Structure 1
Amino acid sequence: MKPLAQENSQNHLPISMITGFLGSGKTTLLNQLLHQAEMQHTLVIVNEFGEIGIDHLLVKATTEEMMLLEGGCVCCSVRTDLVTTLEEAFHKRERQEIEFKQILVETTGLADPAPILRTLIDDPFISAHYRLETLVTTVDALYGEQQLDEYDESVKQAALAHHLILTKIDLVDVATLQALKQRLQSFNPTATIQEVNFQQDTLNAAKLFKTAHYNNQTEQLDVARWLNAETYIQHQQETPDDPDHAHDEHQPHRHDRYIKTFCIEHSEPLHWLTLERWIQQLTRLRGKDLLRVKGIAYTYETDLPVIIQGVQHVFQPPTTLDAWPSDERRSQIVFITRNIEKTIVERLLHTLIKSKTPIDVCQAALILIGQEHEFNE
């Protein structure tokens, strides 16, 4: 095992995202945020200038793709792709052509956020200079239930969010709103949920886009806050795996029925090779269904905690923290998946721990292949 780099993402430029299904109010939210003082030194990346009302905030257009807004916020449109836009923005900042301390990306209404998150860790330049801060998803209180039933993108937008903003709350009754909140919490137990009527309420940008994921004294990840493992553990105790329910033909077809959120814990140290094989088999055989993986690993090869992060088929190079967050050493890895049960992931890990030969490792893969076949039947 090669020496691992030290975790230093606090020194990277934070990127936050606003996403939400068509008509859910994400552009209205962005328009509300643009003039706030908290948005000073923010680069806002949108798909089209015409989709947001910025004329009243415009100070000057620096280029065809970039505009300086009142209050010190810079707004730009995506050029060929997000990676190119982020690279060019970073170089312009280095040349002091523009000034920003954080980035806010607005996605399209039909965007699946998982590939965008994957970009942030897959591209070497982007992962070396930027980090994901927070993901905000707007949810239409009037049509949210229907959109979750019919559109996989809507489910993923909600499942990966740190903040869920329920809009159009004045158009639904209390019972409808409560049912939607319970449904969202069933597959995203860690997100904060806020109800907003844009005609009356104003959301504060600082509260939306500032996380407490870093310890100011150590300048490293605060694992307890970043991972939020205890919330996932409590959630899985309250809603244990129920494969029979997942296949109940009498249940309506709902995309969020297949979203699984759980935390894998292991108190004994793991061999690095076992951990690598575990991740490799998950990504190669079920990568498209790994919406988000993050955690801390306890290994034989180092006394330091190892940070693991991945989206779908791509995992960041592992890094280490300076010290364990508590006296108790154990692996805790959080999964947000589509169609992959906790029991399957645990069984794969335990099988690989016991494996002695290449044949044993290959046989372990059958656990994943078998479950995928089961869901596709």
Structure 2
Amino acid sequence: MIAADQIPVTVLTGFLGSGKTTVLNHLLRQPELGGVVAIINEFGEVALDHLLVESSEDRLAVLNNGCICCSVREDLIETLADLASRRADGTIPPFHRVLVETTGLADPVPVLHTLMTAPDVVARYRIDGVVATVDAVNGTHTLAAHGEAIRQIAVADRLLVTKTDLAAEDALARLEVQLAAINPVATRTKVRNGIVDPAKVLDAGLFDPGARSADVVRWFDLASQAANASHDHGDHHCVSEACGHHSHHAHDAGVSSYSLIIDEPIQREAIARWLDYVAALKGEDLLRFKAIVHVAEQPDAPMVVHGVQHVFHPPITLVDWPSADRRSRLVFIVRGIPRQIIENTLCKFAAVSRAAIQRSAA
């Protein structure tokens, strides 16, 4: 379960040239960033001089809107520990949220692993969500040429499609299809000139869904749509410019997404056993996993599970179901893992009957 005093952390990622720094510069000017720590790569890339800095020192600045801006130290664990210590002793203003910027070439998965597994970090912080910027002008080419860009999109909870005012309509339409193919359950927001509502970045709440029933309902709907689309079109695996049924050679060894709906309760111990097996067998290629599970022991309180490769966030139990539909939803974004393997492991290790597994919503 999530402790009430854990500070939510949002990870902002995006490939080189995707407009991430422009979005960050806009965000840092907003009053909503008061009480937020922004951990950035380099001060030189962000226009702090124009933000009327109240106080500053090496690696850290307090902006006039109350946002605390600091550059990352040797590693993220040290930076987060230092911030928590300063917060506790009052040497920096209190903060209630953290925004972490990754480098353009970085795979965000190690950052997520740190936030989910490092004891000193987990004691004080929790993941709120992952937001990725995508360039509407060059996004299709970037996805075809760079596996890192695909992984950034695959692990995201929200996508900011930037430079939409500069992109041709047909290019933007192709990109939207590609993004839906890679990550069908991430919400997408079109951005112009880096201007975005801070709530679209900071207020994901995706690892604390018990407090946001509307978001859970939305996730239900997207999972059902993904199941329908994968049933009609085959597993999503299109990132080439044509987005045909073939897989592009630079497609990061075949990233695909699919959704399963299970029409029977699952024992808590069985789902835990299955998760352990999948993580051990295919964890490296399980880029992102999300599930809302009908647990047999608690039929009125569904369990939410998130995973990134080998690491799973502690399960969260909701107070009740956000809709009348009580079927389990499982969404997978994977690299080279056929759907049939997942179905087989569910039957063998989670004791799910094959007849209960649906590939599309009823």
TM-score computed with the length of structure 2 as normaliser: 0.83
- The 1:334/1:10 distance shift into structure 2, 3 A limit, reads farther
Match of 1:206 in 2: 199
Map of 1:292-311 to 2, 5 A cutoff?
Answer: 292-303=288-299, 304-311=301-308
SS at match of 1:23: coil
1:321 deviates by 3.1
- Aligned counterpart in structure 1 of residue 342 of structure 2, from 340, 345, 357: 345
Q: Quick one: distance in 2 between partners of 1:317 and 1:270?
A: 17
Match of 1:151 in 2: 146
Residue 164 of structure 1 pairs with residue 171 of structure 2:
no
Aligned residues of 2:181 and 2:257 also touching (Cα < 8 A):
no
Q: Quick one: distance in 2 between partners of 1:324 and 1:249?
A: 36
Match of 2:39 in 1: 45
Aligned residues of 2:279 and 2:309 also touching (Cα < 8 A):
yes
1:330 deviates by 3.6
Match of 2:355 in 1: none
Q: Which amino acid aligns with 1:16?
A: T
Match of 1:178 in 2: 173
Match of 2:260 in 1: 264
**Greater Cα shift, 151-160 or 292-301:** 292-301
Deviations 1:174-230 (A, max 9, x none): 2222212221122222333333341xx6222133322365999x7476643456533
SS at match of 2:230: helix
- The 1:211/1:65 distance shift into structure 2, 3 A limit, reads same
Q: Quick one: distance in 1 between partners of 2:5 and 2:251?
A: 37
Q: Quick one: distance in 1 between partners of 2:170 and 2:216?
A: 36
Q: Quick one: distance in 2 between partners of 1:208 and 1:50?
A: 22
1:239 deviates by 2.8
1:80 deviates by 1.7
- Aligned counterpart in structure 1 of residue 68 of structure 2, from 69, 74, 77: 74
Match of 1:255 in 2: 251
Q: Which amino acid aligns with 1:160?
A: V
- Aligned counterpart in structure 2 of residue 314 of structure 1, from 311, 314, 317: 311
Q: Which amino acid aligns with 1:259?
A: V
- The 1:100/1:258 distance shift into structure 2, 3 A limit, reads same
- The 1:92/1:225 distance shift into structure 2, 3 A limit, reads farther
Q: Give the greater-gyration-radius structure (CA).
A: 1
1:148 deviates by 0.6
Instruction: Give the unaligned 5+ runs of structure 1.
Output: 1-6, 356-377
- Aligned counterpart in structure 2 of residue 117 of structure 1, from 106, 112, 120: 112
1:118 deviates by 2.1
**Greater Cα shift, 31-40 or 171-180:** 171-180
**Greater Cα shift, 300-309 or 76-85:** 300-309
Q: Quick one: distance in 2 between partners of 1:187 and 1:240?
A: 13
Map of 1:53-92 to 2, 5 A cutoff?
Answer: 53-92=47-86
Q: Quick one: distance in 1 between partners of 2:188 and 2:245?
A: 31
Q: Which amino acid aligns with 1:208?
A: V
Match of 1:336 in 2: 333
- The 1:45/1:178 distance shift into structure 2, 3 A limit, reads same
TM-score computed with the length of structure 1 as normaliser: 0.80
Aligned residues of 1:121 and 1:310 also touching (Cα < 8 A):
no
Q: Which amino acid aligns with 1:332?
A: R
Aligned residues of 1:8 and 1:220 also touching (Cα < 8 A):
no
Deviations 1:246-304 (A, max 9, x none): 9x997542416822223333232333443233212211121111112222333444554
Residue 16 of structure 1 pairs with residue 10 of structure 2:
yes
- The 1:9/1:154 distance shift into structure 2, 3 A limit, reads farther
Match of 1:279 in 2: 275
Match of 2:188 in 1: 193
Q: Quick one: distance in 2 between partners of 1:197 and 1:354?
A: 49
- The 1:122/1:274 distance shift into structure 2, 3 A limit, reads same
Aligned residues of 1:270 and 1:300 also touching (Cα < 8 A):
yes
- Aligned counterpart in structure 2 of residue 94 of structure 1, from 78, 88, 95: 88
Structure with the bigger percentage of helix: 1
Q: Quick one: distance in 2 between partners of 1:275 and 1:302?
A: 13
Q: Quick one: distance in 2 between partners of 1:172 and 1:220?
A: 34
Q: Which amino acid aligns with 1:118?
A: H
Q: Quick one: distance in 2 between partners of 1:49 and 1:167?
A: 22
Aligned residues of 2:129 and 2:206 also touching (Cα < 8 A):
no
Q: Quick one: distance in 2 between partners of 1:131 and 1:235?
A: 32
1:40 deviates by 1.2
1:61 deviates by 4.2
Aligned residues of 2:154 and 2:183 also touching (Cα < 8 A):
yes
Q: Quick one: distance in 1 between partners of 2:245 and 2:53?
A: 57
- How many positions carry a matched residue from both structures? 343
Q: Quick one: distance in 2 between partners of 1:310 and 1:251?
A: 25
1:109 deviates by 0.4
SS at match of 2:62: strand
